[in-house]
């Protein structure tokens, strides 16, 4: 997705798009729509024809999926620069939802979306491991997996620190202040409580 899509599963309210509609989860839980969303964020604006050429898809298929993303507020039409096909643009690169939301209608679609996102990321991570790094980016692919012993307060603090480290670079997508020589890099940070079979 743009080669940066930021999706936050959190309990706090952020100044971005909050997903509350089961259909909105289902709309984004599609590999091509994730790709289209990300590519739009990278380019700023693009037409269905331009995206179709990039992904080797038909313009009609891309148009359909773009309309689905627009229907649920992820993207919108932009003004045409040449009076022809109007391009699309991303409304906000960050989406979040509350995993503690008591609405039972959200649980299945939100979990299905998270599963789709993990599958999408895992596929691209495998591709990246098997590919040569772009020029100048050798040694930038890292993997850090650790099981830590944390209190609830420490877990929240660590999560906040990780988000704080990422935020200045995320802001570049909003301000379009991208340094020369840069490229999209996918960073995934997840933390969860390890299951204990002795617990009820």
- Residue 74, C-beta contacts closer than 8 angstroms, at least 6 positions apart: 17, 27, 28, 37, 90, 91, 95
Q: What is the CATH number of the domain that holds 59?
A: 1.10.10.10
pTM value is 0.81
Determine which of 19-23, 67-71, 72-76, 77-81 has the lowest per-residue pLDDT on average: 77-81
Q: Is the pLDDT of residue 155 over 90?
A: yes
Q: How high is the pLDDT of residue 175? A: 62
Query: Does 154 fall in a domain?
Result: no
Query: Does 24 fall in a domain?
Result: yes
Domain region containing 64: 6-141
- Report d(CA 137, CA 4) in Å as an integer: 17
Query: Does 122 fall in a domain?
Result: yes
Looking at the structure of the chain, the number of domains it has is: 1
Q: Is the pLDDT of residue 16 over 70?
A: no
pLDDT band per the 50, 70, 90 thresholds, residue 9? very low
pLDDT band per the 50, 70, 90 thresholds, residue 84? confident
41 CB neighbour count, 10 Å cutoff:
21
Query: Does 168 fall in a domain?
Result: no
Q: Is the pLDDT of residue 11 over 50?
A: no
Q: What is the mean pLDDT of residues 132-146?
A: 91
């Amino acid at each position: 997705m743009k080669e940066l899509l930021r999706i936050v599963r959190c309990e706090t309210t952020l100044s971005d798009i909050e997903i509350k509609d089961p259909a909105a989860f289902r709309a984004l839980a599609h590999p091509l729509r994730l790709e289209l969303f990300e590519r739009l964020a990278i380019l700023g604006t693009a037409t269905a024809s331009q995206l179709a050429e990039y992904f080797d898809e038909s313009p009609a298929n891309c148009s359909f999926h773009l309309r689905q993303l627009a229907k649920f507020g992820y993207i919108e039409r932009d003004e045409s620069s040449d009076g022809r096909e109007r391009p699309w643009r991303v409304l906000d690169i960050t989406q979040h939802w509350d995993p503690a939301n008591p609405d039972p209608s959200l649980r299945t679609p939100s979990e299905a979306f998270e599963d789709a996102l993990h599958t999408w990321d895992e596929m691209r991570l495998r591709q990246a491991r098997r590919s040569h790094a772009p020029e100048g980016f050798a040694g930038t692919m890292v993997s850090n997996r650790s099981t830590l012993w944390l209190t609830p307060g420490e877990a929240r603090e660590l999560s906040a620190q990780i988000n704080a480290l990422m935020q200045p670079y995320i802001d570049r997508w909003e301000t379009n202040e991208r340094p020369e020589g840069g490229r999209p890099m996918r960073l995934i940070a997840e933390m969860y409580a390890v299951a204990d079979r002795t617990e009820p």
